[in-house]
Structure 1
């Protein structure tokens, strides 16, 4: 895996050297430089892989277009007026969207501080403000570390002042999403500053705007992530509770979903967000009481051909099935049969099968009556078929093993029928291929009555644990 890094200047210098010293054409020189660095294990993710524009002898510096635009923006900001910044902000944002290399180079050249000044100037000019939010959102995409305290304050202020303006709210919400993805400190700071009511209010105020609803759902979902590897313990659970208990998140999302029965993109995001909020037993029951379960079962039946939506619905069903009473409600509603139908319909899609297995495993856990329904509906066979089709997907293999284990752990009568489906060889293959499957695979084999070697790591006797 690549672990070396270089600067944009180093990369550009090598491209120029190829052109000057080795008389290569620009595209050939660029390709050669890319191959040269990649062969050395250099990660070029943050590099603009283009031939640098050259100066024509005037005072204008040579360089990449995004830096030239940044210089123009800096000059416009220095004028002290928002109007000259407007078109340049759009151009800068468009250039940021060309790739991570463009955003990274701009960030390294103090683009954030320049944009921040333009943003401040534009607070009372709606049109320029929209462009400033657009540019800042593009710059921080993948670079949340750039955002600091003043920017967070400005964001909250914009959301308060323009709460009834769908366009400004959309741009500010998108910036929120980019700021918070993989950045725990930004999440915590914004939650403390009161971002959650603004995000839920965006849905309630603009519930007919699909783009805004989708963006606000995504931002709420990210507030429940624990994806910043630099932080040992995040506050994802606390944020989820705040969204539900203090901001009525579950009711809001379930009601919002009813307005988008024909928009699978919005429904996917709504279901994905609901699944992230079901972090407590009572929240799972709330989804049922609010009509969320019936709505999701209907989506499984009516939108069976939409893979992304089906995947998110299955994820939400798995989440609410953490409540034992809800497990029964899902089975009673016919949810298990629809889960199996979805898995069989999208057998080639590993993610759908993965979420389907996760849901079946949860429904079968500690519930012999549910296991009977799952077996009769073909759940075990669907899980084993998924194992056959996706042998290299470690998580799917682990979840499928868990389905089998939960089905037979309290109902031994199912062992022989499942073994006749070829379960033993598939589970052994998963165990031998994927280290993460070892424990659950051994448990499944043991409960199926198969021979399995269980290594005794410690007997309780004094002495060294070293082998």
Structure 2
């Protein structure tokens, strides 16, 4: 078994090389690594790029945490400027990598930051220190959601209640809340269980791009289902709770913002929350379709906005009545223009084809609307442009199948644009989607070999 050492031992030798042998931090690290490797010691668990104090030879993150410990204990109080500087060192080191953050957590950084924030909310109330501590918290908690606890949640709620006018502090608190939700179902359930929507809902009315962006991120992260440690999560239930509180308000905010990136986040959030048929109707009744089409028409060249808009249309089409209304209100030319203008963008084109597939499924009038909008030629062009994209070829096959399955009169037009050859090529290039492609060829009336996968086995019945 390979020999290993602790981080403290490694840092101690680096310090010794700096103090006793007057080496620079870079030289000291290189010499320390050579020494241990010569002894056959495995350094895979060692963080080798900690920032070193050239005078003391100690890692600056260790010195910062030690100084903050003495400060909060009252043994050696720091002036505000120095306290902020130590917090900034902690933040800077934690931003480097997960090992840096794990090391800081082992040194007790989380408890120190909780105490500092609590002191700022109860006694000291220095906004500069509070901002610096929240920034450090966000750096430390990134991909370390296990550090989040009931005390942290309590602090976030207090900040939201007390600092609604300070957008910087409010934004950092929302980011802290969002990071605690990633890959941690228990945190998400505890946050929702603490009636967090009572405190988040009033923030939807704040007219600030950053706050709305961070708020949307919180809503989306609360409905994640990414914790492999939990067999069953409550993503759907959380989505229903959040949607019942803010779905109408979020939808009605769309016409009030111009930034396409922010609009993309808002549209993505609305799509993530519309998880039930009745919620699709809620968005439609709040004029969501009109607001969405207006946003997409204002920013036709913004790929992310187009992609998220197409996702929302697909989500709302989960309600059959809303699916009909989507096309009646002009979805066909909008989607056709996206497919035309973004045909070289594989992702956007794939989403556009999937949207056509969803909207035309089992609805002949919708298929007719897309056909009359001239989408046939665009589908063929996109297939030809992205022959190596399995996603594009599969979604195109779905779109073709759903359009012609109840409208056989469209088959000739598709065939005249060469989709039969394109589909046959897709079968060769992408065997995993062969059944989807065959379904499209079958409904187009083309020659296709349909293999019967299972015919059953004959059993002899013995009568008694």
> Gaps spanning 5+ residues in structure 1: where?
1-5, 20-24, 34-41
Aligned equivalent of 2:190: 189
Please say if 1:106 is aligned against 2:104: yes
Note the C-alpha offset of 1:192: 0.4
Aligned equivalent of 1:22: none
Q: Matched residue pairs, number? A: 428
Q: Which of 142-151 and 386-395 deviates more?
A: 386-395
Aligned equivalent of 1:253: 250
Aligned equivalent of 1:119: 117
Aligned equivalent of 1:76: 71
Classify the secondary structure of the residue corresponding to 1:311.
helix
Q: Which of 179-188 and 113-122 deviates more?
A: 113-122
Q: Deviations over 1:349-406 (max 9, x none)?
A: 2221122122111110111111111122232333333333334443333322211221
Q: TM-score, normalised by structure 1?
A: 0.81
Aligned equivalent of 1:37: none
Aligned equivalent of 1:38: none
Please say if 1:409 is aligned against 2:408: no
Please say if 1:273 is aligned against 2:264: no
CA 336–227 in structure 1, closer or farther in 2 if over 3 Å, else same: farther
Note the C-alpha offset of 1:70: 2.8
Q: Deviations over 1:142-178 (max 9, x none)?
A: 2222222322232233323434543332111111111
- Equivalent positions of 1:350-429 (< 5 A) are 350-429=346-425
Select the residue among 438, 442, 447 that pairs with 1:442: 438
User: Residues 357 and 395 of structure 2 are in contact (CA less than 8 Å); yes or no, is this contact kept in structure 1?
Assistant: yes
CA 440–168 in structure 1, closer or farther in 2 if over 3 Å, else same: same
Aligned equivalent of 2:181: 180
Q: TM-score, normalised by structure 2?
A: 0.81
CA 351–104 in structure 1, closer or farther in 2 if over 3 Å, else same: farther
Distance 2:5 2:339 in 1: 47
Aligned equivalent of 1:289: 285
Classify the secondary structure of the residue corresponding to 2:135.
helix
CA-atom RMSD, angstroms? Answer: 3.4
User: Residues 199 and 219 of structure 1 are in contact (CA less than 8 Å); yes or no, is this contact kept in structure 2?
Assistant: no
Distance 1:327 1:296 in 2: 14
Classify the secondary structure of the residue corresponding to 1:230.
coil
Structure of greater Rg: 2
User: Residues 387 and 396 of structure 1 are in contact (CA less than 8 Å); yes or no, is this contact kept in structure 2?
Assistant: yes
- Equivalent positions of 1:325-344 (< 5 A) are 325-344=321-340
> Gaps spanning 5+ residues in structure 2: where?
18-24, 34-41
- Equivalent positions of 1:56-67 (< 5 A) are 60-63=56-59, 65-67=60-62
Q: Deviations over 1:10-43 (max 9, x none)?
A: 9x89xx9xx9xxxxx969x99xx9xxxxxxxx9x
User: Residues 112 and 146 of structure 1 are in contact (CA less than 8 Å); yes or no, is this contact kept in structure 2?
Assistant: yes
Note the C-alpha offset of 1:425: 3.6
Distance 1:460 1:153 in 2: 64
Classify the secondary structure of the residue corresponding to 1:258.
helix
